[in-house]
A and B are shown apart, each in its own frame.
Chain A
């Protein structure tokens, strides 16, 4: 075999004495699409950040194109030919799409000034490659997460790197966009570019990757050609359990369609509209029922959730709680009425970075945890302890700042925040985003358990599997309207895709 493009060996890194990586290794060849897998907190992102100079390693060597290197900043990494899409979106939301694409590599006129015309052309070029049609002069932050994610990918892909690193690029993309992304990856690959691909969607790995490296608890426990593995092998290696255990459990844990939902409607939306692109939403969720919300990007699913949670003022329609009209004017009011909402945007709408895991987890519960404004700390601790165990949150201790947790573990804390208030109605916008396969099933199991206890759930997901297996009913949205309601059992993927796409013409 030829000299590998990248060879990392014996990488060790600890944060404040707690090891994140111990003796991790990774080898990539030119033109290879290589996957890095592992549970939440296994150290994938950390390994990547060590490679690109965001963190300094405690020990270990990095060989790049045959030479030992020591990159000190992301800039150096880029100059060496490594382009990276980090797990947390790292773009500048206030600036325009064009700027976010060309920042740092602006085309210049003869006088050394930025040539905005060329920059725009380059941006359009990148966008069209991903089939995105948008106004590149608008602030990036005004677009949904998925678009931003695509822009980040576009930026990285346009840098002509030797190695392109993608840390969970598809976590907010739907299947169609994932296909586009794969097209781009294949094209890059054919040009000899290597790709490190991190994802918790194992099917994707089998589709796009050549090789795989498995991390467990900061250690590289295996590397192989992906063709030599089955999905079960992969899961077993990640979790450190035998394949047999896993087989017995089945793939998703929602499987709600098996139990018929019999309760009365907890929440009903009648003709809801907001001036945020929600045109008309009709919906009802019964106690003990999971209703899925499906739709393409921009179809307004998030907007539907925001309206139900009192975040956007209604311009038409009304919300009924237990059959009674309810005024839900703010998230605070919604929470008081027993509604929870797990946002898809973990970073800006979820975590309070400097607060601890404990403080983050109990934030929505506080009014019930305190008397005359004083928090009952003993009770708080016991509740947090319970959820850390129940959700398998990997944290040094409950007083660790949440920003130090891995992405997936942050997500679990946030789920815990909403489960803790024991909601009657829970809105989950991409609840298992960035969560590893093991944890995903645990989370799904917990959701199912809540539903069986009578909780009503509105599940927004871009994963068809999750919707089809999990939801009793699926409401399909298009352009801000709820257009169809499909009933399980019996919904097929084709049917769903058809319903999502067809309406556009209607």
Chain B
């Protein structure tokens, strides 16, 4: 069965079914879509699932009922959003997945939805580990890992990417891996506690920048010198993280850009024009270190 076509016109009714709005990354992503709407001729229908995959499906349903032309969907979870993708397809609405994908065993790009626009969470974790193995000076790396929200796919993937990569280097051992819920406050608390139990730690890998900043605060409060005696690596590329890199407190953050709007507009236009879209429109994530942080801090969120 073929993908639903999209006719080329000036204005589209575009659905964007956001998963939640409880972190800066999501808010920046939503804002990016809103900003693009003005320039790209979108009449944007915005919903917010409040962190519930089931509600996200219901939200997509209500968009279908409203007769949207195109759907941009950042699926909260791989499997639970499949019904949404299938129903959009059934209603003749071309769908683009954003920032996360769905289970490829059931729904496939080019058949059930047009394409997946996004980066690779596993790869993000792997690149953080890669930078670490290259730049770590000591001979024994004792790692604390601050995981994202337990059970969420970025947490699972960033953990897998990092852990698999680090396993290849015998210098490193992960002494504790624990959820900080992607939040600064929680990251700080967990770090404070783990630091007491493992004072010999000299590497922190956080699944996002907010927790990394929390970890830096915990380290400083305990009289440690983040950046000097503890290396910190993380993912996202927020302004605070870039600042921390500039200040020498943090080693690296792997970019995970929330600014999907322009790419979405571009890809949709191409699709409407009849071009074939690759199943995975990869977002080229940069990597921010001392070398380039100052240069990019202006564009960070």
Q: Do chains A and B touch in the complex (CB under 8 A)?
A: no
Interface residues of B (CB under 8 A from A): none
